């Protein structure tokens, strides 16, 4: 019997006792981790919640519930080493044999441990999307790490995930991009040619302009704007998007579709979304513009869909591709940048308006501040001074970038210490976790091959030390951790879990000699090491971080 089964036996026994004593009560037995490890593995406050109805002191009630539960389920004595009433709580410590079964399951299932078969649910996940006006920067890097980890976790839990990047190429920013590149092109002939005030000043546009000159010579010098603007805009967009795709692949992030907004226009998807809102009676015209009745869905004002001249707004584009995603998916998740807080309720209201209430989740990937030790790295997009994601990857590597980007909760700002990320010491969290995996691999290399082979089916009865059981419990948590990541859109839980596994293994390594002289103990500890290596490597892979065999 495994952990969940043991808890279920206890919960059923207590529920039966409560039903017999207090028929009007229908409360369930919920478990949580005690504040301090010495209190046990799990705790429940069922006696506290019942105390008012029972008109009894919670501690006395807890004692009686334990006694009756044991009478109803005598097997509890074999499943739990202690079941104790403490200040009205009931604290439970599982018997070592339960943790041993969890380790045996990990050894049997290997990297499949905790994974789920297909559940038939389709998820549309969008993250990283950026204007095609420049290279990817750290904000997109964080969004991509969050999204990629969620994708991996969802697929691990049995979801069919479709990953999408929206290319925002249907707005005025593309004209500004075309004029910026054209100015760089003209400056290669006439250095004094003026740069547009609303242009993109970064040096990254200069090579694009030079390639156009190499290809076309002075063909565009005397041409009118109506001739050169579409050409320069499209040429720059195509090169920048290709560069963004190269960076994403370098970062180990793959997309199923790079969706162009302009292509949605051409395919009639924008009209389709607007027509759907019209059919539902959720639009009206005012001053020549078409409005969506957003205030019916908790927005602070109605939103313009089509301007007076017929041009769609940015929100109208949201309608177009969200209508498409909501129809095709059971769950839609958007990971947006830090300047999109106002979009959360707006997009959820749109989902409800289109007939899909509760199907859309929105998370905001908060701002990233780059540091080198105590010194902040200056960044000014307006001045053209940006730190690209590629530069971050050059400096700290893919592993450190992925791990640091998801370590805080999604809704929390991140201070990314570039100096710490490359240091080979325990204060660097990614080094600490990877070193934990390398240490396990080192132990297994030093073990006799016969012992390693025998460990997979060895008796785990010798594993009774507190450090051994603490590590076993941590490993058994892996499936619920991944499920929590998916449910709460919380990839930071995986990074922190990996760090906790490494810490628990280091403690086990320190307190328990693994390659001891006693064969039975040695093989049991090797088995625990093998299970630790499997789970830690799997957790790291979901985060997009490698698990080195040596460091």
Report the chain (551 residues): mean pLDDT per 10 consecutive residues: 88 90 80 85 92 89 93 93 93 95 96 96 94 92 97 98 92 91 97 94 93 96 95 96 97 95 86 93 94 92 91 89 94 91 87 94 93 82 71 96 97 94 95 98 96 95 96 96 97 98 97 96 98 98 97 88
Which burial class, exposed, middle or buried, applies to 35 when counting CB atoms under 10 A from its CB (0-12, 13-18, 19+)?
A: exposed
User: In 3D, which of 122, 24, 5 has the Cα closest to residue 73?
Assistant: 5
User: CA-CA distance, 195 to 202, in Å (whole number)?
Assistant: 12
* Helix, strand or coil, per DSSP, at residue 360: strand
Reduced DSSP (H G I as helix, E B as strand, rest coil) percent helix, strand, coil of the chain, to 5: 55, 15, 30
CA angle at 356 for the pair 305 and 329, rounded to the nearest 5°: 100
C-alpha 262/C-alpha 293 separation (Å) is 25
330 within 8 A of 123, measured Cβ to Cβ: yes
Give the strand order in the sheet containing 303-306: 283-286, 289-292, 303-306
Sign of CA dihedral 332, 335, 338, 339: negative
Q: How far apart are CA 370 and CA 141, in angstroms?
A: 12
Q: Which of 68, 43, 48, 49 is nearest to 58 (CA)?
A: 48
Q: State residue 325 phi and psi, 5-degree precision.
A: -70, -40
Contact 213, 273 (CB under 8 A): no
Closest by Cα among 129, 135, 189 to 384: 135
What is the reported pTM? 0.92
Nearest to 118 by CA among 162, 164, 156: 156
* Cβ contacts of 128 within 8 Å, gap of 6 or more: 136, 140, 143, 144, 147, 165, 248, 253, 335
Round to whole Å and give the CA distance between 114 and 74.
30
User: At residue 332, what are phi and psi to the nearest 5 degrees?
Assistant: -120, 130
Angle (deg, nearest 10), helices 492-511 and 398-406: 110
Structural domains in the chain, CATH included, are 3-94 (3.30.1360.70), 123-165+253-364 (3.40.50.620), 173-250 (no CATH), 425-543 (1.10.730.10)
Torsional class of 544: left (φ above 0), alpha (ψ -120 to 50), beta (otherwise): left
Phi, psi of 465 (to 5 degrees): -65, 145
- By three-state DSSP, how is residue 34 classified? coil
Question: In angstroms, rounded to a whole number, what is the distance separating the alpha carbons of residues 396 and 420?
Answer: 9
CA 502/CA 496 separation, integer angstroms: 10
């Amino acid at each position: 019997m495994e952990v969940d089964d043991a808890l279920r036996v206890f919960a059923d026994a207590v529920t039966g006792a409560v039903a017999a004593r207090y028929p009007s009560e229908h409360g369930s037995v919920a478990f949580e981790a005690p504040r301090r490890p010495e209190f046990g593995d799990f705790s429940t406050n069922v006696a506290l919640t019942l105390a008012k109805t029972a008109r009894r002191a919670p501690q006395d009630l807890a004692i009686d519930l334990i006694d009756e539960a044991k009478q109803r389920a005598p097997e509890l004595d074999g499943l739990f080493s202690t079941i104790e009433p403490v200040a009205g709580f009931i604290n439970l410590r599982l018997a070592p044999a339960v943790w041993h079964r969890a380790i045996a399951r990990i050894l049997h299932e290997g990297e499949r441990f905790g994974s789920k078969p297909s559940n038939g649910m389709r998820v549309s996940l969008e993250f990283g999307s950026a204007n095609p006006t420049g290279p990817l920067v750290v904000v997109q890097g964080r969004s991509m790490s969050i999204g990629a980890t969620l994708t991996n976790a969802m697929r691990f839990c049995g979801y069919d995930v479709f990953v999408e990047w929206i290319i925002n190429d249907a707005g005025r920013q593309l004209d500004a991009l075309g004029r910026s590149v054209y100015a760089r092109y003209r400056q290669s002939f006439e250095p004094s040619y003026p740069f547009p005030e609303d242009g993109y000043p970064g040096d990254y546009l200069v090579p694009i302009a030079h390639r156009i000159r190499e290809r076309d010579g002075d063909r565009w010098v005397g041409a009118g704007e109506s001739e050169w603007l579409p050409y320069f805009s499209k040429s720059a967009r195509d090169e920048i998007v290709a560069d963004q795709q190269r960076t994403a692949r370098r970062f180990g992030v793959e997309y199923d579709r790079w969706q162009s907004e302009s292509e949605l226009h051409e395919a009639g998807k924008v009209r389709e979304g607007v027509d759907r809102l019209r059919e539902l009676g959720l639009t009206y015209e005012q001053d020549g513009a078409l409005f969506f009745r957003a205030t019916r869905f908790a927005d602070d004002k109605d939103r313009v869909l089509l301007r007076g001249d017929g041009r769609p707004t940015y929100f109208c584009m949201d309608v177009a591709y969200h209508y498409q995603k909501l129809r095709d998916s059971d769950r839609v998740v958007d990971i947006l940048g830090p300047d999109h807080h106002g979009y959360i309720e707006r997009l959820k209201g749109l989902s409800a308006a289109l007939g899909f209430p509760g199907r859309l989740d929105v998370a905001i990937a908060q701002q990233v501040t780059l540091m080198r030790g105590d010194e902040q790295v200056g960044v000014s997009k307006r001045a053209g001074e940006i730190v690209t994601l590629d530069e971050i990857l050059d400096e700290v590597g893919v592993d450190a970038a992925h791990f640091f980007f998801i370590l805080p909760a999604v809704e929390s700002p991140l201070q990314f210490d570039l100096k710490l990320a490359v240091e080979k010491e325990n204060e660097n969290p990614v080094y600490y976790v990877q070193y934990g995996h390398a240490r396990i691999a080192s132990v297994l290399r030093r073990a006799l091959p016969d012992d390693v082979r025998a460990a997979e089916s060895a008796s785990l009865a010798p594993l009774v030390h507190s450090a051994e059981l603490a590590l076993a419990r941590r490993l058994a948590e892996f499936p619920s951790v991944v499920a929590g990541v998916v449910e709460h859109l919380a990839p930071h839980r995986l990074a922190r879990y990996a760090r906790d596994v490494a810490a628990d293994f280091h403690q086990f390594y320190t307190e328990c000699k693994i390659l001891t002289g006693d064969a039975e103990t040695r093989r049991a500890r090797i088995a625990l090491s093998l299970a630790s290596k499997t789970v830690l490597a799997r957790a790291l892979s979901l985060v997009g971080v490698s698990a080195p065999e040596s460091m």
